[in-house]
Chains A and B, each alone.
Chain A
């Protein structure tokens, strides 16, 4: 099993008194395999390996008293840095404002909207949940149900087109003097230019403090192009990594960080509205390394 291979390499490395460049390269090969098995995109794996190698073959590492431990530390520190900044959470600098959640189908947007709404309500803000998924059967019912459960007002109207509904939602938000609108959008493929243009129009209307890419922790190599395309269309501000309560290693997060350097704000860790945990880079680094 792959993570056992990596553990064995670590043991070998830390057990050795002296390290050669060849030893480091052998270890880095195992690190690359571990990262690929964790769903980190090949391009990100190569870049990461190169960064680590430059640092790990430095004289002071190889000639130190515990070179093996030093190399492992370089791997962990470099991964943590690439995943950083270190801690998460969302800060909205001024009100009234909005947050917009976007992403692929089924990634956890609607559920995460309710989770964020709960957090901001707890901070004393008046929150309006806004349902802009007019396509998926019962999407608005889903958001309305969660909103009711949290005691949070919800604008969720079916029947008009995307543009008209967005306008109407904004008018409602302003007329009732809410602090924060949290916008739930329909799932979409990054390759669907009509749908990407549609969500860009929502962003142009609301100008949210943060456009958040909601990314399923099980996402594979496609995460790289998802990050690139969502950045190209929306220049999104941050990421929330969902379904971390499963056993997906979450390497997709590193792929996204590699191409866009947008901060990760939270981990989704379950289906309930309090199942949102602030992001910790070290924690994700350990998980990705297995």
Chain B
């Protein structure tokens, strides 16, 4: 094989290491390198290979897109497995929305975990934004219902809904999310306008399984890649994009309110291949 391919075998090895250590996964890594081999001339250099690889990976990602919100108050539902950064991402987005002149409402619909409501409420206080939540043990669907009423009566928009972390493998918890979505749709047609799945950039292949189940259950409209200030390269994003064309809308890059930015496929690619 080394004689038939343009690059040296140690250079192919280097590329393989680059992809695998970036959590692209063995299947997509093998496929990408096969496509790359097919795309190269006999005299191709490592530089050309990297340029082609960049194009191959870029073609897997959907076009950059932001939030698609119409008819206020627009509800955005934040979901994901435990500890990925949902609550913090809501706070960050709310902060940037307020900077843009919007009047977001923070909704504490995680009525399960210890101090979850307090956590989002403290963020709201810190940011000077309105918050609604219920007692721990309350029905999250009831919180959501009240939140839409509050938003309509006070002219708040968008409505950012925090939910409890949950494993996608726990059926009744996924059913609970379906119910929250149904309640939103009944309260106001077309809601939620966005269902954002928050993924931890430190994750490996399990992020793909998470995306599959949350998407099949709810219809995910976009991803948030949190904790991308970690050296982890989040290569699973390529598999998720290839299989379900889910756009990453935002990237979290730290724990402060301003540490969020719109996703750029080109910037993400640069970082992935660096």
Q: Do A and B come together as binding partners?
A: yes
Residue ranges of A at the interface with B (Cβ–Cβ < 8 Å): 2, 32-33, 36-39, 41-42, 104-108, 135-139, 141-142, 144-146, 149, 189, 191, 216-222, 225, 243, 245-249, 251-252, 271
B167 near A245: Cβ-Cβ < 8 Å? yes
Q: By the criterion of a CB under 8 Å from any partner CB, how many residues of chain B are at the interface?
A: 43
A220 near B84: Cβ-Cβ < 8 Å? no
Residue ranges of B at the interface with A (Cβ–Cβ < 8 Å): 17, 20-23, 25-27, 81-85, 112-115, 118-119, 121-123, 126, 167-170, 200, 202-207, 209, 227, 229-233, 236, 255
Contacts of A271 in B (CB 8 A): 82, 112-113
CB distance from B233 to the nearest CB of A (A): 8
Contacts of B123 in A (CB 8 A): 137
Contact of A138 with B202 at beta-carbon distance under 8 Å, contacts A37-B27, A247-B169 already known = no
Partner of A37, one of B25, B82, B203: B25
Contacts of B23 in A (CB 8 A): 39, 220-221
Partner of A247, one of B25, B84, B126, B206: B206
A41 to B126 Cα, complex, angstroms: 40
Contacts of B26 in A (CB 8 A): 2, 32-33, 36-37
What are 23 A-B pairs with beta-carbon distances under 8 A?
A36-B25, A37-B26, A39-B204, A39-B205, A39-B206, A42-B17, A42-B20, A105-B255, A106-B84, A107-B83, A137-B126, A218-B81, A218-B202, A218-B203, A220-B23, A221-B20, A221-B23, A243-B81, A243-B167, A245-B170, A248-B204, A252-B204, A271-B82
B204 near A219: Cβ-Cβ < 8 Å? yes
CB distance from B179 to the nearest CB of A (A): 19
A243 to B169 Cα, complex, angstroms: 11
Partner of B115, one of A39, A41, A142, A249: A142
A142 to B27 Cα, complex, angstroms: 40
Contacts of A104 in B (CB 8 A): 202, 227, 230
Give the residue among A137, A139, A216 with the most B Cβ atoms within 10 A: A137
